[in-house]
Each structure stands twice: as C-alpha cells, then as structure tokens.
Amino acid sequence: MVKHENFKTCDQSGFCRRNRAYADTASSVSSWDSPYRLDSASIAFKDGKLTGTILKSVANSDHAVRLPVTITFLESGTARVTVDEEKRQKGEIELRHDSKAKKERYNEVEDWVIVGGTQVSKGAAVSKGEAGSTKVVYGPGSKFEAVITHAPFGIEFRRDGEVQIKLNERGLLNMEHWRAKVDKPAEEKKEGEEAVVEEASKEVTEDESTWWEETFGGNTDSKPRGPESVALDITFPGYEHVVGLAEHAGPLSLRQTRGGDDSYTEPYRFYNADVFEYEMDSPMTLYGSIPFMQAVKKDSVVGVFWMNAAETWVDIVKGKTSANPLSLGIGSQTTTQTHWFSESGLLDVFVFLGPTPHDVMKSYSELTGGSQLPAEFSLGAHQCRWNYVTDEDVKDVDRKMDKHRIPYDVIWLDIEYTDGKKYFTWDPDTFPDPLGMQKQLDEHDRKLVAIIDPHIKNEANYWVVDELKSKDLAVHNKDDNIYEGWCWPGSSYWIDAFGANARKWWATLFQYTKFPSSAPNLWLWNDMNEPSVFNGPETTMPKDNLHSGNWEHRDVHNLNGMTLVNATYEGLLARSKEEEKAGGRRPFVLTRSFFAGSQRMGAMWTGDNQAEWSHLKASIPMVLSMGASGFPFAGADIGGFFGNPSKELLTRWYQAGAFYPFSRAHAHIDTRRREPYLAGEPYTGIITQAQRLRYSLLPSWYTAFYHASESGTPVVKPMYFAFPGDEKAFAIDDQFLLGSTGLLAKPVTEEGATSVDIYLSDKEKYFDYFDYTVYSGPGHVTVQAPLDRIPLIMRAGHIFPRRDRPRRSSGLMKFDPFTLVLVLGDSGDAEGDLYLDDGESFEYQDGAYIHRKFHYDAATQSLSSEDLSTPGKKTKAYLKAMEKVRVEKVVIVNAPVSWKSKTEVELAEEGGSASGKRRVPMSWQEEGSGKANWAIVRDPGVGIGKGWSITFD
C-alpha cells in the first residue's frame, strides 16, 4: 500500500489549502468580486498581441498590485494568456534568509517546452466590444473571439459565436503578490487559522501560517520569497467530460474532485514523485506531469495547457449548465468547472478552440512537439527485469527466446550491472564481457538498454563524481553548496541538467570512448529522475534547493526529469565522430519522469505497478490518458512490477502489452523469474502468438507513430477521439483503436473471462481479426475471448499493412514483403496508409521514406496505391534500396459474393509493361455462419514504393 503519510494532501500543501479556501470564500460570499481588473488605459494591441496591466486591489491598501498581462493570438488559432508580477519582474523584492535565489517569477518553462507554433496571427484584430470589454477576433476564418472583460478581469473564448471556455468566471484568479514579512506581536498571530470572512464587510483575513515557512515530514522549506502562488478558474460550459492531465492512475474521463457522488476529495496533483506502491483510481501525483486538458462534448473538443512546472493542483467540479431561458428544451447539459493552482511561476495558459480532437492535438503538438518518430526496433518487444544478473544470463535469455521462437528486440539491464551503482561502469565480476554480450544481441539485430540514473555516487576515485564536482555541475542546496542526498548508491549528488554546461558534459559521457564497453546497439533508460531522493521531502529534493541560474527547485521541479532526458538524448545522437558524420541515429531513451514536451525524446512507462488484475486493468486508461496528453509512446510493466503474476495474468498482460505503444515486460528484483518461455504450455505458446501479432502489425504501429510525430494524434486512440459525435463513448477507456487502421482492441483484464463486450459507436460492420465473425453496431457486441484470444476486431472501411513472416527481431524484417488487409463494408470505400523508412536514421527528413495511401473505390471496385510523399534529396536512393520489397498478398475481408467465381484480377503498375496491365490470381473463400467471406490476391508482385491499382471488376 502506498504510504500516504509520505505525500502531502492539499491541506498539507500551503498554497493548495489557501487556494481551495479562496474558492470556498468566493462561493460562500453572495456577491463575490474578483479583486483583479484590467486597467483600460493600459491596453494596447499590436501584431496579434494585446498587452496591459491587471491591477489587483489589496485589502487595507491604497496601492494596487501591478500585474503585466499579455494575450497572444497565434497563427494556428491558439491563444496564450500570460500574467507576471511587476515587482518581482523588476527584482524589487527582498529575499529572506540571505537566499541567493532568483527574484523573478520563473519564466523559462517555455524554453524547455515550446518548440514551434509561436508565429503570431496577422489576422487577429480588435473589434468593437461591449462597454468595459475588449473583443479580439482571431483564428482560422476569423471564427474565434476572445472577449476580455476589464472589471473584474476575465476572458470568454467563443467559436462561431458560442462560448467554449471562460477564464476567471468564478473569480478565483489569484496571484499571491510579493510582500515583506511583518512580524506580528505573538498574540495576534493567527497560526493555522482558516480564512475568516465577514460577510458584511467582505474582509478576508488570510491564512498566513504557510506564507513564510512550511514543514512536512521533518523537513522545513525556508520559502525565501514568501507566498507566490498563481491560480485561475477555467470553465467549459456545456462540456461534461474532461480528459488528459497525465499522469494519474484513474479513468480517462477525469473525475470530480469537489462535490458530487463519484468525487475524489483531493484535487488532481502534479508534483513528480517516486510513489512507492501507488494506488488505483486516485488523483495522487505520480512520476510525470502534463498539465494539458481537453474538454469533450458532442462534436466539439477544446483544450487548455497550463504551462507551469511548479507543484500544481487541479480541482474539477461538474454541474448543470446555468439555466438559460433561451436554451430551455435543449436538455440538461453539464458544465465542467476547473480550478488550477501552482505554487510559483507565471500564470501562463494556452487555449485551444478545436473543434475536433485532432485540431486540439495538432495545435498542442505544434507548440510542444510531436511524438518522437521512434527507432523502429523500439516498437518491438522489450524484455526487462531487475536484474539480468550476469552477461551470461543475458545471453542465455537471448538464446532461449530464440529456441522458443519468441520474437523480441531489446533486453534490458537494471542498476545491478554497474560496479557498486556507479553509472558508466560495469560490475567486473558479473559483467566481465559486456562487448561480447552486445555482440551476441547484434547478431540478430537486437539491442541492449542499460539504466543510468541522475544520482551520482559520492565516492572517492570515481571519475564521474570527480568531474561533476570539479566542474560544479551538480544541484546546490539553499546555502548554495553542493546538495547531498540518498539514493541507490547511498550518499549521492545530482546532476543539474538545467545548466547548459552540465548537459553538454553529461552528453559526452555516452561517447564510446567514455562509457567503456558500450556498443552502438546500447540505448538508455533514465529512471529516478523526478528526482527520487530517498531521504528528501516527499522522496524528492527540498524546494529551496538551487539550480543553474539560481532558480529554486520549487519553480522547476516538474521539468527536472525532462532536462535529464534532453541531455541523454543529445549524448546518444552521435557517440563517435563517424556517427556524427553520418548524421546520427534516432536515440532511444525511456524515462520515468516527464513534462509536456518529453514526447519529443522517447518513451515513458507507468512506473512501479503490481502483478494484480486491477493494475492490468488500470494500465489501459493510463496509456490512453498519456495519448490524450500528447505523449503516446507509453506502456506499463507487462506482468506487473511488484509481486508474482499467475500464469493467466501474465498471459493476459502480454496480450494487452502487445497493444501498448511501448511494450516492455519488467519485474522487481524480489520476484520469481518469468521470461515467457518459463510459463510452460499453453501459456508460452499463447504469449508467443501475442508477440507475433505485435510484430506482424509493426508496419501499422510505425505508421501510427508517424502520424503522432506529425500531428500529435494518439497512437492508440480512445473512443472519443475516433467518434467525437458519440457521447455514449466518451467515458469508455477499456477499448481503443490502433492509429487509423480501424483495428479495435479490448484486452481482457478480468480473471477467468472468456468473452468481452465491446461497444461499437457506429453502424459500420466489424469483423473478428482472427475468424472474421461479423459484428454490427451501434451498441454492445460480445466477442469471444478464451485465453488464447485477444479481443480484436476490424472496422469496415479501412486498409492496413502487415508483415507476416515470423522473425526473431524487427531489424530482420526490414526487407520483408507486405500484406495489405482490405476490410470492406457492404458498400462504401476503404482507406488506409503506410509510412516506411529505414527505421533508424534521420534521412527521412531528406525524403528517404515511402508514404503510400491505399484506397478502395467501391464504385469502380478497384484498389490503388498512391504516393503521399514529398520527394527530397534522398528519396531516389531510398526507393532504390526498397525496390525489391513487394506486396506479397492482399487479403480482402468481406469480399463481395459477386467475386465468387473470380480467379484473377487485373493489375496495373506504374512504369509496368507496354500495355501496363497484368492478370494476377485471386481466390475467394466462403465462410458462412455469421462469418465474413474473404478473398486473397496472391503475390501481385508490385513494389511497395510503387503506384499501382488492382481492379476486381
């Protein structure tokens, strides 16, 4: 069980408690006036940017606090609202305790997170608004409006005239301004008191008990800058569902946190932490933070991104949309109200107005980056445990996987491979021959991933720590000395990857000459990078620690994991001069901790889960939430980290894991060995089938990742994403679609289950992947799922690529032929695509790729392959290299009866013979009894990179 006492509740986190109290005050006072107003005289609008000053009135003071605000309208249709505090901006504050901390509010999150999409809108224009407000018309086709109310300050965002998002509607905007500490006479101190509100005078006595110091778990935070939280309420009128806010172990459709029958009592929390034995269905913080949320209603999705890396909490309340006499009769709609608060930093929020989930994700990914286009091997199966104990052990597992014909790509080494937990070393007794081990793996194009954590052992004669210290590249404590804490190696220091010099240095450590016995097929795992500090408050660093530039840890905590991955990624790009010359290879880095933007650099996993059915079940909404939060390369430890899974659970988990974007088995050091060949029959055989299914669908997975890299779309798509018009599907989070293949999976997550009910949103026909049983929606259908079956159905109207030859690893499939599966409805067209490149280099950026669109035209009964690529300087050479790779079969599911007597189809190939046409054999198969007929076109002999068409008529 998680040790709740190690982590703060809202009530134990000063600013969380203060902001919740603020919200209570606002709702309990009959006519609450937010004390923030935009000074009308200060407003200026130029080049898509509105600037001005918000004035915050303060009780018992004639002086308003000046808060500069910028509202930026971007070309993409995204709006950004940034609020700073003038006094801190100018450094006109005093720090307590002689602190060396920076005086400003942290304003560098964007340097880590934002990589594009910042072009300011040329078309945005101020238009005449109502008195006391300013209206800006912006966005594609000028369909968006921001109506900025001056007093109190608030913004309504409208699309086509309809309000979608409101800021500060409830008056919860709160910027805790700087003030000097006034030492009150002892008797007047109101330690620990709640805010007292006197209705008559509306005078609020604030709870100052956590302004200047906070103690938790025996650790005192010195808070040299005093209270400085930022908060805002964001309302989504008419939106019943909100999704995103990864990482939390709960449902995809986020739950209420205040009020309501199904409500949590705590807000969703973001404070990246090593939460030992985390619990299911909880808003507790986990290892990573993506403060990005989408609100979903029928045919409309909008979103907000709260760009703040300090400790953050989000309250969610749902209620009936306020009665509008004009809308009576439309039915009862639900409005979602959210309340966001962060401990420090700027108020910086991006607003996305959709209307499709694709639009929102695309705009978000323009800003924070698409998913990395991963090296193809990393989409294969990963076999990990803490620990493979010797290099012989690794080689033995590798041989046994082959003996049992279980495909896999990567075997992993956890911390025990090192010499005494000193990273960049090998234990000389247990790993005497790392190069020999990597060489054996390479023989089948397999890889090794080794763990390297950010804590560096504090031990004499360890060159890494010596350099870290002598170059002053470690995190400092509040007194500006090197910070020391405890982790796996015992006493340790932490690399401060916020500093450019530290990152540069870290990157050099991965060179083959520096990391002894590392080979080109070795890649990286960054763990414990929240950072995890065993003796620190909430198992992490003190908030008053100092990072490069003297920013307090408080300001940057949630970015910490990402900075390390950045540095590791840079290091792996080119580990030798030769590699650098050749343009480098796409690095693979797995991270436990992450922030918005981490999707650009690798994969994440959901940390230390347990070998229990409930954890298998919870992994699916967690992975879907990651996709909805823009970080689709996600998976959970297959088999469960803690504990020993039953064979049934292990088998079901491998089946589910074959549909995680990141598919890795992992186990704790105290668990029994559980490599899939140890399970025995029928389990080993069933797991092998699951892995083979994964491998045969790799072209579809890779294509889905290509789309994720281009436009931020999830790799496994939740139902709301695929069917935004079907309200009934919005909360469904135990089934999903693979990219745009039309493949719909619902892994079994219940012990003993032999069937599952799958919900179908539309009237299309669906077919069982394995035996073509026909299902029709809308509504629930029951799909048989004995232990050897993964519930997987194919939606009519799609075409997806496969590679059917079983191989040991993905690398060995590079030149294998393709199978295309064409899934037909009773009428209508079908469509799909294939993206393909060398799977490891960056040459695709110079056109070295194939992107084909497959289209079946029902009217002419013809299937064609069209080019979707934009040629570049390396296109020709790549096409030449792939010349011999062909389509070896086309499988047509639900092939029309009218094709029954056909034995041939006509094929026309681009650049083919003079007549340009050939006949190729086809066979048609009748199934009957609830199953679809099917046909196969065998060996049409067309190149995968070529244009062609097959006419069935």
The yes or no reply on residue 640 touching ligand NOJ (CB under 6 A) is no
| Residues in 422-461 that interact with ligand NOJ by CB under 6 A | 451
- Following DSSP, what letter does each residue of 523-540 receive, concatenated? EEEE-STTT--TTSGGGS
The yes or no reply on residue 565 touching ligand NOJ (CB under 6 A) is no
| Closer residue to ligand NOJ, CB minimum distance, 528 or 719 | 528
Binding mask 164-203 for ligand NOJ (x = CB under 6 A): ----------------------------------------
Q: Which of 84, 343, 530, 637 is catalytic?
A: 530
Shortest distance, CB of residue 393 to ligand NOJ, whole angstroms? 16
How buried is residue 763: exposed, middle or buried, by Cβ count under 10 Å (0-12/13-18/19+)?
exposed
| Residues in 492-531 that interact with ligand NOJ by CB under 6 A | 527
In the set 108, 348, 414, 538, which binds ligand NOJ (CB under 6 A)? 414
| Closer residue to ligand NOJ, CB minimum distance, 7 or 706 | 7
129: DSSP letter: -
| Contact of 155 with 52, CB cutoff 8 Å | no
Q: How long is the chain?
A: 953
The yes or no reply on residue 592 touching ligand NOJ (CB under 6 A) is yes
The yes or no reply on residue 415 touching ligand NOJ (CB under 6 A) is yes
Angle formed by the axes of helices 500-508 and 560-573, to 10°?
Answer: 40
Shortest distance, CB of residue 519 to ligand NOJ, whole angstroms? 22
The yes or no reply on residue 538 touching ligand NOJ (CB under 6 A) is no
| Closer residue to ligand NOJ, CB minimum distance, 317 or 415 | 415
Could you tell me which of 807, 810, 775, 777 has the C-alpha nearest to residue 793? 775
The reply to whether 734 belongs to the active site is no
Sequence-separated (6 or more) residues with CB below 8 Å from residue 202: 29, 33
| Closer residue to ligand NOJ, CB minimum distance, 605 or 677 | 605
The yes or no reply on residue 608 touching ligand NOJ (CB under 6 A) is yes
How buried is residue 325: exposed, middle or buried, by Cβ count under 10 Å (0-12/13-18/19+)?
exposed
| Residues in 660-719 that interact with ligand NOJ by CB under 6 A | 666
Q: Which segments of 125-194 does DSSP mark as H helices, in order?
A: none
Shortest distance, CB of residue 527 to ligand NOJ, whole angstroms? 5
Shortest distance, CB of residue 453 to ligand NOJ, whole angstroms? 7
| Closer residue to ligand NOJ, CB minimum distance, 489 or 811 | 489
Helix (H, G, I), strand (E, B) or coil at 47: coil
Q: In what order do the strands lie in the sheet with 792-795?
A: 716-717, 736-738, 743-745, 792-795, 765-768, 774-776
Binding mask 101-140 for ligand NOJ (x = CB under 6 A): ----------------------------------------
| Residues in 346-405 that interact with ligand NOJ by CB under 6 A | 386
The answer for 195, left when phi > 0, alpha when psi is -120 to 50, beta otherwise, is beta
The yes or no reply on residue 571 touching ligand NOJ (CB under 6 A) is no
| Closer residue to ligand NOJ, CB minimum distance, 19 or 560 | 560
| Residues in 239-278 that interact with ligand NOJ by CB under 6 A | none
Q: Which of 527, 538, 552, 840 is catalytic?
A: 527
| Closer residue to ligand NOJ, CB minimum distance, 468 or 590 | 590
Please enumerate, as own/partner, the contacts of 55-62 that have beta carbons within 8 Å and a separation of 24 or more: 56/175, 56/177, 58/177, 59/203, 59/204
Shortest distance, CB of residue 7 to ligand NOJ, whole angstroms? 16
Shortest distance, CB of residue 365 to ligand NOJ, whole angstroms? 27
Q: Which of 84, 608, 733, 734 is catalytic?
A: 608
Amino acid at 518: S
| Closer residue to ligand NOJ, CB minimum distance, 157 or 641 | 641
Could you tell me which of 550, 742, 707, 559 has the C-alpha nearest to residue 627? 707
Q: What's the CA gap between 935 and 103, in Å, rounded?
A: 71
Half-sphere exposure of 456 (CA within 13 A, CB side): 24
The reply to whether 530 belongs to the active site is yes
Shortest distance, CB of residue 637 to ligand NOJ, whole angstroms? 7
In the set 380, 407, 607, 676, which binds ligand NOJ (CB under 6 A)? 607
Q: Prior bond to 247 cis, omega within 30?
A: yes
Shortest distance, CB of residue 720 to ligand NOJ, whole angstroms? 30
Q: Which segments of 629-677 does DSSP mark as H helices, in order?
A: 647-657
Q: What's the CA gap between 383 and 667, in Å, rounded?
A: 10
How many residues form the binding site for ligand NOJ (CB under 6 A)?
A: 10
| Closer residue to ligand NOJ, CB minimum distance, 416 or 727 | 416
Shortest distance, CB of residue 739 to ligand NOJ, whole angstroms? 28
CB count, 10 Å around CB of 268?
25
| Closer residue to ligand NOJ, CB minimum distance, 386 or 766 | 386
Tokens for 297, please give them.
């209603």
Q: Give me the phi and psi of 745, to 5 degrees please.
A: -115, 145
716: DSSP letter: E
CB count, 10 Å around CB of 382?
27
- Following DSSP, what letter does each residue of 736-751 receive, concatenated? EEETTTTEEE----ST
Shortest distance, CB of residue 152 to ligand NOJ, whole angstroms? 46
Tokens for 784, please give them.
């048989």
The residue number whose beta carbon is nearest to ligand NOJ equals: 386
- Give contact residues for ligand NOJ (rule: CB under 6 A): 386, 414-415, 451, 527, 592, 607-608, 641, 666
Catalytic residues: 527, 530, 608
